[in-house]
Amino acid sequence: DAEWGTAIEPEAIRAIAKKTQPVKLIAIVHAETSTGVQQPIEPVSEIAKEFGALLLIDCVTSLGGIPVKADEWEADILYSGTQKCLSAPPGASPITLSEKAVQALSERKTLPNTWYLDLQKLEAYWDNRRAYHHTSPISMLYALHRALAITLTEGLENRWQRHERNGKALQKGLEALGLVLHAKEAVRLPVLTTVRIPEAVDGDLIKSELLANFSTEIAGGLGNLKGKIWRVGLMGESSTADNVLFFLSAFGLLLRKHGFKADVTAALESAAETLNV
Amino acid sequence: DAEWGTAIEPEAIRAIAKKTQPVKLIAIVHAETSTGVQQPIEPVSEIAKEFGALLLIDCVTSLGGIPVKADEWEADILYSGTQKCLSAPPGASPITLSEKAVQALSERKTLPNTWYLDLQKLEAYWDNRRAYHHTSPISMLYALHRALAITLTEGLENRWQRHERNGKALQKGLEALGLVLHAKEAVRLPVLTTVRIPEAVDGDLIKSELLANFSTEIAGGLGNLKGKIWRVGLMGESSTADNVLFFLSAFGLLLRKHGFKADVTAALESAAETLNV
């Protein structure tokens, strides 16, 4: 457990691992969408090696938006989603397994009681046995194929830079509006920004007016952060300079309408500086 | 267990139920795509009531093609797929649960160890709590919505009759070609026809030439029936009189080319009679 808004300290993971040896698997979320935090993976990977544990990384919100380095991190299981920074429709999960992970699956003694996500049965589907497991969601595969083509045409590094620049511009702009960002700066994600709802402002009202008046949807907080933060996504095709400027204008106007004296001009100038426009 | 090609005898189910009391759940496949058999559900429903068991019905291949009567059958869990007789893309599973089934879920003592298909967590998604479970495959939902609209525009009963008529025409035609159907006539599905591969014919070759020369894909047998039968689907938008006649022509030509003296004229006349064309 870490305070929501900070990354998990490697030392905390190491301490738990020590207490619970042997450690079979360490699981970590790379881009944490509840809090807007980017978890540094390298130190976690070190700990997994130290304890001979498999390393599982949830890259749902990071793949295609910020660097995901499955091989460098020596990830054993790494999965993502199609609907975040790849901008394909939701409905499929790209996944990759190391040979060590595949071996662990083949050696497990208690079999999974789910047919639905039985990775060994799924393996037989795509290896040279081509054994039928389920009917594939083919439209999803076409959509993902196209999304990957768009990603590679842009260039992965260009795409990372675009997400980084627009995320930073949005965050500078939100601060210039007079708002406080929830995630600590050092571990702040560019693709998902968490913003504290100022006292005396009705967060849900702003959220619903944004949608009704500006066709722009942001999310509320989950769990501990319910009612305390807004969550603003800036992923894939929607991560554009225009969207950053438009969002700051619309959001600022609504805040002012509801009594919070946001400085929209300052926000736009601050974002424009980062965007170099 | 039943012989592949026949339905499961209610008495066999009753005998097993007697031996294994108490019986929590009886599961049955309505339209069995490995064998082309339509399982009569009424007697199975009677047995479920008799033993106080929940009744689960797999209607993957029947929904939208042949009558599915969840309420009359007093089904407790009934699910289907989108990609069969509804002709939507694959990737989602319509499901319905009775109050008894929902209650059984809420009372279970061993919790499911799968988050992926935890029906209780999914319930919180769509009931008035609207609690987030997963990101919905929204394109699939739009596609399913459209497929259901098309289905209702045609009329469910018209759709059943269309599947029945075309399936019967195909089956008469295949017999007139000189082939033997695998499923017993009394329980033969109209939406999926199993055909025995004649000796001295290479089933895989015919299958691949059908695809290469006529852009028409049929399937081979599974399990016990591997290499012994072909499986011909006639579902949803593809269940048309034109497709029946075209398939019999193409299939007949290929059989003749590979040495089986199929009577294509007789096949077409036989199908045309059923089709009333």
**Rounded-to-integer distance, Cα A32 and Cα B138, Å:** 23
Which pLDDT does position B149 carry in this prediction? 98
B91, B136, B138: residue with CB nearest A139: B91
The secondary structure of residue A108, as a DSSP letter, is: -
Angle between helices B138-154 and B156-176 (to 10 degrees): 80
Domain that holds residue A55: 10-153
> Cβ–Cβ of A140/B137 closer than 8 Å?
yes
What percentage of chain A has pLDDT greater than the value 70? 100
- Last residue within a domain, chosen from B115, B131, B153: B153
Under the banding of pLDDT at 50, 70 and 90, the label for residue B153 is very high
Q: Are A75 and A97 in contact (CB under 8 A)?
A: no
Contact B117 A114 (CB under 8 A): yes
Q: Helix axis angle, B119-126 relative to B99-107, nearest 10°?
A: 120
- Indicate the residue of B81, B89, B136 with minimum beta-carbon distance to A138: B89
Candidate from A98-102, A134-138, B71-75 with smallest mean pLDDT: A134-138
Q: CA B220 to CA B73: how far, in whole Å?
A: 32
pLDDT tens for each residue of A10-47? 999 999 999 999 999 999 999 999 999 999 999 999 99
Average pLDDT, chain A: 96
Predicted confidence (pLDDT) per residue in B171-184, tens digit = 999 999 999 999 99
Contacts of A259 (CB under 8 A, 6+ apart): A200, A201
CATH code assigned at A50: 3.40.640.10
Q: How many residues does chain B have?
A: 277
The yes-or-no verdict on residue B273 having pLDDT over 80 is yes
Would you say residue A116 lies in a domain?
yes
- pLDDT score of B48 more than 90: yes
- Please indicate, yes or no, if residue B69 is contained in any of the structural domains: yes
Q: Is A81 on the interface with B (CB under 8 A)?
A: yes
Cβ–Cβ gap A113/B114 under 8 Å: yes
Q: Is A140 found in the same domain as A29?
A: yes
Chain centroid to Cα B128, Å, comes to 33
Cβ–Cβ gap B113/A113 under 8 Å: yes
pLDDT tens, residue by residue, A198-235: 999 999 999 999 999 999 999 999 999 999 999 999 99
Look up residue B1 and give its amino acid.
D
What is the pLDDT at residue A114? 85
Q: Do both B24 and B137 map to the same domain?
A: yes
Same domain, B148 and B269: no
Q: Which token pair is A114?
A: 């789910």
CA A150 to chain centre: 19
Q: What percent of chain B has pLDDT over 90?
A: 88
Distance CA A191, CA A159 (A): 12
Chain B residue closest to A222 (CA)?
B132
pLDDT digits (tens, 9 = 90+) for B111-129: 888 888 899 889 888 889 8
β-strand partners of A38: A31
* Per-residue pLDDT, B111: 87
**Contact, A229 vs A195, CB < 8 A?**
yes
- State the amino acid at position B188 in one-letter form: R
Flag whether residue A135 sits within 8 Å of chain B, measured between CB atoms. Answer: yes
Same domain for B179 and B255, yes or no, is: yes
Indicate if A224 and A236 belong to the same structural domain.
yes
Query: Is A56 domain-assigned?
Result: yes
Burial class (CB in 10 A: 0-12, 13-18, 19+), B210: buried
Considering the domain architecture, whether residues A81 and A193 belong to the same structural domain is answered as no
Cβ contact, residue pair A89, B132, below 8 Å: no
Residue B171 is assigned to a structural domain of this protein: yes
Mean pLDDT score of chain B: 96
Among the candidates A153, A172, A193, a domain finishes at A153
Strand partners for B233: B192
Residue B152: the pLDDT is 97
| Any A CB within 8 A of B136 CB | yes
Which chain A residues touch B140 with a CB distance below 8 Å? 91, 137, 139-140
Share of chain B above pLDDT 70, in %: 100
Whether residues B27 and B148 share a domain: the answer is yes
Whether A1 is covered by a domain: the verdict is no
Indicate if B149 and B185 belong to the same structural domain. no
The answer on B179 and B114 residing in a single domain is no
Instruction: Report CB contact under 8 Å: A138, B222.
Output: no
Angle ∠(B206,B208,B211) on CA atoms, nearest 5:
110
Q: Residue A137 is nearest to which of B89, B112, B117, comparing CB atoms?
A: B89
Distance from CA of B83 to the nearest CA of A (A): 9
For residue B91, give how far its alpha carbon lies from the nearest alpha carbon of chain A (Å).
4
Instruction: Write down the pLDDT at residue B218.
Output: 98
pLDDT for residue A3 is more than 90: no
B2: confidence class by pLDDT, cuts 50, 70, 90 = confident
Nearest-Å Rg of the Cα atoms of chain B is 21
Q: Determine, yes or no, domain membership for B1.
A: no
**3-class secondary-structure state, position B203:** helix
Q: Is the dihedral of CA A196, A202, A204, A206 positive or negative?
A: negative
Question: Among the three residues A97, A126, A153, which one is the final residue of a domain in this structure?
Answer: A153
Q: Which residues of chain B are within 8 Å of residue A137 when distances are taken between CB atoms? A: 89-91, 137, 140
Given a cut of 80, is residue B1 above it in pLDDT? no
As for how many domains chain A has, the answer is 2
Query: Residue B117: its pLDDT value, please?
Result: 86
Q: Which class for A201: exposed (0-12), middle (13-18), buried (19 or more C-beta within 10 A)? A: middle
Tokens coding B107: 């009372």
Q: Specify the pLDDT at position B112.
A: 85
Strands B37-38 and B31-32: antiparallel
Beta-carbon separation of B139 and A137 below 8 A: no
pLDDT at B20: 94
Q: What pLDDT score was predicted for residue A117?
A: 86
Give the per-residue pLDDT at A211: 98
Q: Report d(CA A165, CA A158) in Å as an integer.
A: 10
Same domain, A122 and A162: no
CATH number at residue A171: 3.90.1150.10
| Residues A121 and A163 placed together within one structural domain of the fold | no
Q: Are B92 and B137 in contact (CB under 8 A)?
A: yes
pLDDT for the residue numbered B42: 98
What does the pLDDT read at residue A111? Answer: 87
pLDDT of residue B264: 98
| CA–CA gap between residue B106 and residue B100 (Å, rounded) | 10
In a domain? residue B2: no
Under 8 Å CB-to-CB from A40, ≥6 apart: which residues?
A7, A10, A187
Q: Looking at the structure, tell me whether residues A245 and A178 fall in a common domain.
A: yes
**Residue in A90, A112, A138 nearest the CB of B138:** A90
**pLDDT at residue A132, as a whole number:** 84
Q: At what angle do helices A119-126 and A99-107 cross, to 10 degrees?
A: 120
Give tens-digit pLDDT for A129-180. Answer: 888 889 999 999 999 999 999 999 999 999 999 999 999 999 999 999 999 9
pLDDT digits (tens, 9 = 90+) for B200-217: 999 999 999 999 999 999
Residue B30 is assigned to a structural domain of this protein = yes
Residue A242 DSSP SS3: helix
Q: Reply yes or no: is the peptide bond before residue A89 cis, omega within 30 of 0.
A: no
Q: What is the mean pLDDT of residues B9-38?
A: 96
